[in-house]
Structure 1
Amino acid sequence: MNEVNEWLQIGRIVKVRSGKDEGGYAVIVGIVDERFVLIADGDKRRFDGPKKKNVMHLLMQPVVSEEVADSMRETGRVTNAKLRYAIQKYAQGKGE
């Protein structure tokens, strides 16, 4: 399970594999333990009400949003607009 742990990073973009948000993108805004993370997309799932998600239900993307990671390191928070921007930028880069 250690290869998964390397991917658990605040600011990492993830694709939801199951649940009502399936197919959508979100950003890791908190790490509960090695099995669960908190995700938010800045839209339906806002920073103040993140979703606790099993990492097995997420597809880790090879991108970490530095804006989100820096904001979380500096203030412990991130704006919903920044989350939306990070996801939009990533999705555009993939051509979705």
Structure 2
Amino acid sequence: MTEANTPKLGQIVKIRKGRESGKYAVIIGIEDGRFVAIADGDKRKFDQPKKKNLLHLELQDWISSEVVDSLRESDRVTNGKLRFAVAKFIEQMDSNA
């Protein structure tokens, strides 16, 4: 895998396959080379993340520092922070468009 394709904690992803396709979420765990755990803080809470194959996700060039800091400090992140990270990313995308 190249550096650009490597998932990182706190990275925003766009879901390409499955029931939630087209939605955005945050990587909150990296299982192995193929799978990550994602949550959006809304439908998919931190306590019940979705395990997704990286082939079904589109990695975005945006990492939420709030989520990364929280995961480093306490191995947890609030659902509010996840919702905030996704909303901030979407807002930034809209302002750039």
Q: Same fold (TM over 0.5)?
A: yes
Aligned 8 A contact 2:5 2:59 in 1: no
Amino acid at match of 2:89: Y
Aligned 8 A contact 1:26 1:40 in 2: yes
Give the structure 2 partner of residue 74 of structure 1.
73
Q: How many residue pairs get matched?
A: 95
Give the structure 1 partner of residue 64 of structure 2.
65
Give the structure 2 partner of residue 17 of structure 1.
16
Structure 1, unaligned runs of 5 or more: none
Identity of aligned residues (%): 53
Query: Alignment partner of 1:42: what SS?
Result: coil
Give the structure 2 partner of residue 39 of structure 1.
38
Q: Quote the offset at 1:6 in angstroms.
A: 5.3
Query: Alignment partner of 2:26: what SS?
Result: strand
| Over 2 Å off, 4+ runs | 4-7
Amino acid at match of 1:67: E
Q: Quote the offset at 1:7 in angstroms.
A: 2.8
Distance 1:67 1:79 in 2: 10
Structure 2, unaligned runs of 5 or more: none
TM-score scaled by length of structure 1 = 0.94
Amino acid at match of 1:9: K
Q: Say what the alpha-carbon RMSD is for the aligned residues.
A: 1.4
Give the structure 1 partner of residue 93 of structure 2.
94
Q: Quote the offset at 1:51 in angstroms.
A: 0.1
Distance 1:29 1:38 in 2: 6
